[in-house]
Amino acid sequence: MTAFQYREGVLHAEAVSLSALAQTVGTPFYCYASGEIEGAYSAMERALSGLPATICYALKANGNLAVVRTLAKLGAGADVVSEGEMRIALAAGVPAAKIVFAGVGKTAEEMAAGLQADILQFNVESVPELEALSQVAESLGRRAPVALRVNPDVDAMTHAKISTGQAENKFGIDLGHIQDAVKLALDLPGISLEGLAVHIGSQLTDLAPYRAAFGKLTALYRDLKGQGVPLRRLDFGGGLGISYDGETPPDLAAYAALVRECAAGLPAELVFEPGRFLVGNAGVLVTRVLYVKQGTARRFVIVDAAMNDLIRPSMYDAFHAFKPVAAPAAGAGEMPVDIVGPICETADTFARQRGLPPVAAGDLLAICSSGAYGAVMSSTYNGRRLVPEVLVRGGDHAIVRARPSYAAMLAETPLPDWLDPARPAARGVA
Q: Which of 157, 102, 155, 97 is nearest to 125 (CA)?
A: 102
**In terms of domains, do 386 and 291 share one?**
yes
What is the phi/psi pair of residue 226, to 5°?
A: -65, -25
Q: What is the mean pLDDT of the chain?
A: 93
Does the pLDDT value for residue 162 go beyond 50?
A: no
Same domain, 233 and 307: no
Among 69, 64, 73, which residue's Cα sits nearest to residue 45?
73
Residue 261 forms part of a structural domain: yes
Specify the CATH number for the domain of residue 284. 2.40.37.10
Where residue 425 falls among pLDDT bands split at 50, 70, 90?
low
251 and 352 in a common domain: no
Is pLDDT above 90 for 420?
no
- Banded model confidence at residue 211, pLDDT cuts 50, 70, 90: very high
pLDDT of residue 332: 83
Do 241 and 206 contact (CB within 8 A), yes or no? no
- Flag whether 51 is in a domain: yes
| Cβ-based neighbours of 170, under 8 Å, separated by 6 or more | 104
Regarding whether 97 and 153 lie in a shared domain, the answer is: yes
Last residue of a domain, one of 228, 243, 278: 278
pTM: 0.93
Question: How far separated are the first and last CA of the chain, in Å rounded?
Answer: 62
Segments forming the whole domain that contains residue 24: 4-31+280-411
What's the domain count of the chain?
2
* Strand ranges, E, within 163-264: 173-174, 191-197, 233-235
Catalytic residue (one of 31, 56, 262, 344):
344
Backbone angles phi, psi at 408, to 5 degrees: -65, -40
**In this predicted structure, which of 154-158, 286-290, 392-396, 410-414 has the lowest mean pLDDT?**
154-158
> What span, in angstroms and rounded, lies between the C-alpha atoms of 413 and 360?
38
- Residues 262, 301: one domain? no
How confident is the model at residue 154, as a pLDDT?
77
Say yes or no: 288 and 141 in one domain.
no
Report pLDDT for 170.
59
Which of 166-170, 226-230, 309-313, 423-427 is the least confident region? 166-170
Asked if 344 is an active-site residue, the reply is yes
- CATH number, position 49: 3.20.20.10
Same domain, 187 and 302: no
421 domain-assigned: no
Mean pLDDT throughout 23-38? 98
φ and ψ of 208, to 5 deg:
-60, -45
Q: How far apart are CA 63 and CA 80, in angstroms?
A: 10
Confidence of residue 163 (pLDDT cuts 50, 70, 90): very low
Examine residue 118 and state whether it is found in any structural domain, yes or no: yes
Give the residue-averaged pLDDT of 279-292: 98
Q: Based on the fold, state whether residues 322 and 380 are members of the same structural domain.
A: yes
